[in-house]
Each structure stands twice: as C-alpha cells, then as structure tokens.
Amino acid sequence: MRSGCRCFTQFFGISITFCACLCLALALSTPWWYRTQANVEVGIFTLNCNEYLEGLEKADCHHGIERLKDHPFWMLMLATLGTATLCSFLSSVAGLFIVTCACHKAFPITGLMNLIGTALAISGVVYFAYLFAEDGITNTFQEIGDYIDNNSGFGYSFLIAIGASCLLLIAGIINLSVACCRV
C-alpha cells in the first residue's frame, strides 16, 4: 500500500511538472506579455503594433518598437524561462523513468530540478515586471506623443508564466516530500 501511494504521489508531481512545462512553453511562444502606452505589444520573440492604428498613433508605436528592439531584456527572459522550461521537461522525463522503472524508490533529483526551474521562472517574471512597471523604458512613451492607451499593462502570457512558476513550486514540494519522507 505504501509503495502504491508513493507511486501515485510521484506520478501526480510529475503530471504537475509536465503541465508547468507546457505552460512555460506557451508563455514563451505567445506575444501577449505587455502592451505599452504607445500600443507596442511586447512578446519575448516579437514586438508588434496593433494593425488598427493610424497616423500619429502608428508613428508612436513604430518609435516604441525601435526603442525596445535594442534593449537586452528578451535575451535574459529567454535564458531564464527557457532554462526553467528545460529543467521542468528534464524533471518530468526523469520522474517518468523513476516511476516506471523504480517505483519503490524515490530520488530527490526531480524535486531539486523543479525548484531550480521555479527559481529561474520566478526571477525571469520578476525581472520582466520590474522592467516594465518601474523602469523608464515604457514611462517615457508619454513624452513621445499625446496618445496614451489606457489598455496598457501586463498580458495573458505574463499571467501564464506566473501560474507555471507556482505549478513548478508545488511540483517541487510534492516531489521532494515523496523523496525525503516515508509515505
């Protein structure tokens, strides 16, 4: 009975890890991280203007893209969230191997990899939030033109990345508790 409970708990932790891996990959690949006051839609890989903009609004948006294009935020975000995605993927693969081949044993490596991925994902999300909420990069768009979009702010991809970070933390705690405690 104890072995079955441990296997179920390990499989549950691995499932959460795999869901977090998919969420991080989705957050990295979608362009809805932030919308600036000049209507620049910021993603990790893309900077886009809304196709419905005209005149001065479109000029402000293109100026905002030129301004953000040279900033190295996307390289740090790609490094932290990409490594977190890789850690969660490797953790889920290692966990599946452990559950299927050595169900009666538990190894803390999956929990440690989840916690490393959690630290990387949270640091990337916090850096992105600091960069776009507190730094002067987007605040100076008010000086460019008179048009200020009230719909500026963090998007769905940012929220997905926060949720994936929480899932990784939960999975890390589950996997470490299975490995370190007698279930």
Q: Which domain holds residue 72?
A: 2-180
Q: How many folded domains does the chain comprise?
A: 1
Q: Band of the pLDDT at 177, cuts 50, 70, 90? A: confident
Beta bridge partners of 34: 42, 154
**Between residues 144 and 108, the one the model is more confident about:** 108
pLDDT tens track for 113-170: 888 888 888 888 888 887 776 555 555 444 444 444 456 678 888 889 999 999 989 9
Residues in the chain: 183
pTM for the full model? 0.75
pLDDT tens track for 30-81: 888 877 766 667 777 777 776 666 666 666 666 667 666 667 777 787 888 8
Q: Give the domain CATH number at 105.
A: 1.20.140.150
